Structure 1
Amino acid sequence: MVIDYYQSTFFYQSITNIKQLKTDNNDEIAFIGYSNSGKSSIINTIINKKKIARTSKSPGNTRTINFFKIQNTKYLVDLPGYGYANIAKNLKIKIDELILKYLHNRKSLKAVILIVDIRRCLRCQDYKIINLLTKRNIPILILLSKSDKLSKSMQKQTLNYFKKNETSIIKKNNVILFSCTLKIGMNYLQLFLKKYYKF
């Protein structure tokens, strides 16, 4: 199983300023999405460690860029969630700038996992991220998370609607149903990670 590659993964570094980034040229894959989209739970599921990425019922818990080192040669990067409502405006602006600077400038970034709650689909900040990454030719995998919250017929209907109405923005990207609870989409996610980590 691909998940075996992550057994030795450990927390490496948190940064609050882009100048704190280290340049060791190790391959990185970043995870991003709106707050409360299920990002931390997905990271924990991949690594198979329950609390390596913090989960919270309160959106906006991740306010730093967190690096997890895999086999001492690669990084899984947990970016702050966006769209949080319960933090000061100046802090929100600072976090948004940190995210965009990382995505725009990081040379070792090989791919991005964009997590979208299936009950909400794409929103303003998602489009901004996709446009930025598309210009950089960074591969994106879009996970429609929490798919278990919908019936199978609604999952299929939502996925079809998503593909039909968002064709112009995602035609070069992958989009799949995903659920940590039922492991929907896990095999595809693992293969995507394996491809760009070059395991």
Structure 2
Amino acid sequence: MSYFTNAKFATSAPDIRHLMADEGIEVAFAGRSNAGKSSALNALTRQKNLARTSKTPGRTQLINVFDLDEHRRLVDLPGYGFAQVPITMKKKWQIALGEYLQKRESLRGLVVLMDIRHPFKDLDQDLIHWAVDAELPVLALLTKSDKLKSGKRKQQLLMAREAALAFCGDVTVHTFSALNKQGLSEVEGVLRQWLQLDEQAGD
């Protein structure tokens, strides 16, 4: 049984001022609105509806928090770059996102999800640069890997790993498919490290 099945919805907040106390450990998930973020969170937690998958990408404009235990959380950040929302709202969210990455003390790592066929678009790069500036480790997750054949998938992974070197930070790249669970154990390994799970006996 995976530890991540413990995930339970805790709260939704429009910005960091409305989040719970800044203590414990949290890991955040971010990505373009059509990158498959909700599907990845559901696959990780083995829950079908923990994160709502919408037919209209970009509907989530709140920070959604899921408790794993008393001290650890997963944070689902609003999708960006696709939603039909006003420019003023997008700018407001960009400020909130920057604030969250730079000021949230309990944040220990950022998972940036990108469609394997279109990795490292401008907004993805901005986000990773922000995280690197804040000295946060990043897991760049190339989602929907089942859409590519094995050879092409490996080629995309190698290209993405090479591109990630330019960020000059702690940026790991893995492929992932919510559909066939490819890459799930690698994701869990990184998250367990960030959440300091393996340091505690019995976890």
Q: 2:108 matched to which residue of 1?
A: 110
Matches within 5 A, 1:3-14: 3=2, 5-14=3-12
Matches within 5 A, 1:69-84: 69-84=67-82
Once residues 18 and 68 of structure 1 are traced to their aligned partners in structure 2, the CA distance between those partners, rounded to angstroms, is 15
**1:125-164 correspondence runs (5 A):** 125-164=123-162
* Alpha-carbon distance in structure 2 between the residues aligned to 1:131 and 1:7: 31
SS of corresponding position for 2:74: strand
3-state SS in 2 of match to 1:66: strand
State how 1:4-153 maps to structure 2 within 5 Å: 5-153=3-151
Q: Report the 3-state secondary structure (helix = DSSP H, G, I; strand = E; otherwise coil) of the residue aligned with 2:6.
A: coil
- Please give the alpha-carbon distance, in whole angstroms, between the structure 1 residues aligned to 2:170 and 2:14: 31
**Distance verdict in 2 for CA 1:111–1:171, change over 3 Å:** closer
Range that drifts further, 95-104 or 169-178: 169-178
Asked if 1 retains the 8 angstrom alpha-carbon contact of 2:136 and 2:170, the reply is no
- RMSD of the TM alignment (CA)? 1.5
Q: Which moved more, 1:120-129 or 1:17-26?
A: 17-26
Which runs of 5 or more structure 2 residues have no equivalent in the other structure? 198-203
Q: Check conservation: 1:64, 1:95, Cα contact below 8 A.
A: no
Segments of 5+ residues of structure 1 without an aligned counterpart are none
How many residue pairs get aligned? The number is: 197
- Give how far 1:166 is off: 4.1
**Identity of counterpart residues, as a percentage?**
35
Matching residue within 166, 169, 188 for 1:168: 166
TM-score scaled by structure 1?
Answer: 0.93
CA gap 1:106/1:24 in 2 versus in 1, 3 angstroms? closer
Amino acid at match of 1:18: I
Rounded Cα–Cα distance in structure 2 between residues aligned with 1:49 and 1:74 = 18
Residue range with higher mean Cα deviation, 104-113 or 16-25: 16-25
Letter of the structure 1 residue corresponding to residue 82 of structure 2? Y
Q: 1:170 to 1:141 in 2, by over 3 A?
A: farther
Give the match's secondary structure for 2:54. coil
Instruction: Map Cα deviations across residues 22-64 of structure 1 (whole Å, 9 max, x no partner).
Output: 2251100000011110000111111111011010121102110
- Aligned residue in 1 for 2:179: 181
- Which one of 172, 175, 188 corresponds to residue 190 of structure 1? 188
Which string of whole-angstrom CA distances, capped at 9 and with x for unpartnered residues, describes residues 158-197 of structure 1?
1122223442126631101111112111111011111111
Find the aligned partners of 2:7 and 2:76 in 1 and give their Cα distance.
Answer: 13
The CA deviation at 1:128 is 1.2
- Shift of residue 72 of structure 1? 2.3
Matched residues in 2 for 1:73 and 1:87: separation? 34
* Superposed structure 1 runs of 4+ greater than 3 Å apart: none
Instruction: Tell me the secondary structure at the aligned position of residue 143 of structure 1.
Output: strand
